[in-house]
Every structure is written in C-alpha cells, then in structure tokens.
Amino acid sequence: MASLNRLKLLMLITMVLIFGTLFVLIAVATTLFEVMADLPLWAGIPFAIFMSFIFIFIQWYTSPWIVAWAGHLQYPKPGENPWLESTVKQLAAKAQVPVPKLAIVPDPSPNAFVFGRTRSSSTLAVHEGLLRNLDKSEVTAVLAHEIGHMRHNDCVVMTIVSAVPIIAFMVGRSFMTITYFGGGSRDRRGGGGLAIAIILTAITAWVVYFISQLLVMWLSRSREYYADAYSAYSTQNPSALASALSKITYGLSISHDEPSGLRAFCIGDPSTAKHDISDVMDHKDEYDLDKNGVLDERELELAMQKQAGSTWNSINELFSTHPSTYKRIIMLKSIEREMGTSKLASPDDVYKFV
C-alpha cells in the first residue's frame, strides 16, 4: 500500500543511492590516482564534493530560465483565458499549493508540464495542442496531474537528482578525451600509472552515469504514477485522465517533430508514446477478437493488459522517464472501479493503487 509518506521515503532512499554513486566515483578516482600514479589526492575529496554541490546548485538555480527558453513559453495576460485560470486556481487550492504561473507552449502536440525552483515559483506550461485536442474534463485532469507534481515537490527533486548523471557523464567524457589526446604520454613518477588511473576513472564514471541515470528514471516513473493517482483523487474522475493519456499518447506518436529536450518534464514522452502505439498496431490482428478491423474498448483493455505484462516492455521501460501508457491507464481503471464502490476521502486512499 502506497502513501505520500512512502513517496517521501522512496525519494529519500533514491537520493541517497544516487548521491552515493557520486561519492563512490570521487572515492574511486582519488584511490586510483593514489595507487596507480602516486598522487595523494585524498585532501581534494572535500573540494570535489563542494564543487559537485556547486554544480547542482547552479543547475537548480538556472533550470527555470533554461526550460522557459527551450520551450519558447508565452505568458498570457490575466483574464485572457478565464476558464484555464480559474481551473488552475481551484486545483491549487484543493492541493494546498501556491497558484502557479501559467504559460502556453506554441506546440501543436498535446502535452503539459510544470517546473520551478520551489512550489511558490512554479510555472505550469500547457501546449496549444492540449487545449485544442482535449475536452475540458480531460484538460482538467491533466492540470490536476501537474498540480500533483507540485504537491509532491517533484520539480525540485528531479532537478537536483538529475545533476548527478550529468556530473558523471562530464567526468567520463573529459577523462576519455584526455586519454585520447594524451594517451601516448607517460608520467615520469608513475610510468604509465597516470594514464591507467585516468582510463579506470573514466570507466568508473561511465558506470556511475549508467547506474545513477537508471535510478533517476525509476524515480521519475514512480512520480508519474503518484501524480496520476493524485489527479484521479482531485477530480474524482480517473476516466478523464485515462482518456487524456490516450489522446496525448496518440497525438505524440504521430508527431513528426523531433522530441523536445523538455520531454522528461512533460506528462507524455514522445518516445514512450511511439513505442506504445507501435506495440498495439503491430499486434492489431491478435487483439481484434471479432475481426472487424477495429479495436473496441474491451479489446483495447485486453491489449493494454497483455502489453503491460510483456517482459520485453518491462525491460525497455527501465530506460524511460515515463511508465507505459498501458500501465498508467490500468491503474486509473482500478481507481475508477474503487470509486464505484466507495468514496476516496483523501489522497492517501488513492495512493494505495500506485
């Protein structure tokens, strides 16, 4: 059974593991240079840790500007979209979070995301394609999902933890570059020890990058489930979010635009969407039980259940920031069935489905 406390524990454990990989990289690097090249760098460990946190702080502080620039955000004037403004205010009040600043992304694909350094400085960005292609109940469900991210402090957490794989990647790439351009040289004191230490440090950095990136993506997927569950509670209409996810997935799957660098922030990931849709279409004949050329609601539900249980899809999902649409919709349908028999009085009642 899940709860918000479990989410907080999940966040804490994952952050410890992610930052643990960073400290392992620093410790291994200093040990390698000590043993292989006779360079006593242990005194530099506090400095390396300090610089790592400086980098994390810079990423956290500058990320809102980068996101706003990359998304070409347009900020509507007050009263320009009264329904959108009032809906966000109502959802924020229910979640007991500050009302986020609204922004419109001039993008025809259906999507939305929230970002910011803190809850009080958050911005909720909505794609034009979302407002154009989804009805009001579906848009409301998507907005509640994003408000759920604010309630769970996802923006801050994900911005901080995602810095660790970047640091490891930069170290690995820098040391491999040094090896490539200076591989023929040898340190006089340590013979080829320095070159070996550099190579082994680079390898360690790539391993840390891989492990920490997997942990970040796992935490990201978990948070999407929690935001979905919160939306179902907040709107008391899980079918609206399920319908919205279906439309978002289809819309993203047929988009010819290159995936945006902001896709990890969004409610839907174009790469995951294309994979989910192609999986169903590749097995359409198998799922079309009445052979009428169209997958009805029951056939689609069976298809989703089978795809969600696929071992290959589970492995592929390890390398994604978003869960498969099938699994998200299946969870929402479970919540909907529960709502048919009892009222979910608090978010904790709905988090048990995560």
Residues marked active site are found at 146
3-state secondary structure 211-247: HHHHHHHHHHHHHHHHHHHHHHHHHCCHHHHHHHHHH
* Contact between residue 244 and residue 138 where contact means Cβ atoms under 8 Å apart: yes
Query: Strand, helix or coil at 327?
Result: helix
Q: Which residues of 131-151 are buried (b: 16+ CB within 10 A; e: fewer)?
A: bebbeeebbbbbbbbbbbbbb
Q: How far apart are CA 79 and CA 264, in angstroms?
A: 30
DSSP track, 100-145: PEEEEE--SS--EEEE-SSSTT-EEEEEHHHHHHS-HHHHHHHHHH
Establish how many alpha carbons lie within 13 A of residue 354's alpha carbon, considering only the half-sphere containing its beta carbon: 27
Query: 112 has which bridge partners?
Result: 126
Helix axes 193-235, 163-182, angle to 10 degrees: 160
Q: How far apart are the first and last CA of the chain?
A: 8
Report the sign of the C-alpha dihedral through residues 289, 293, 297, 303, in that order: positive
Write out the DSSP string of 42-111: GGGHHHHHHHHHHHHHHHHHHHHHHHHHHTT-B-PPTTSSHHHHHHHHHHHHHHT-PPPEEEEE--SS--
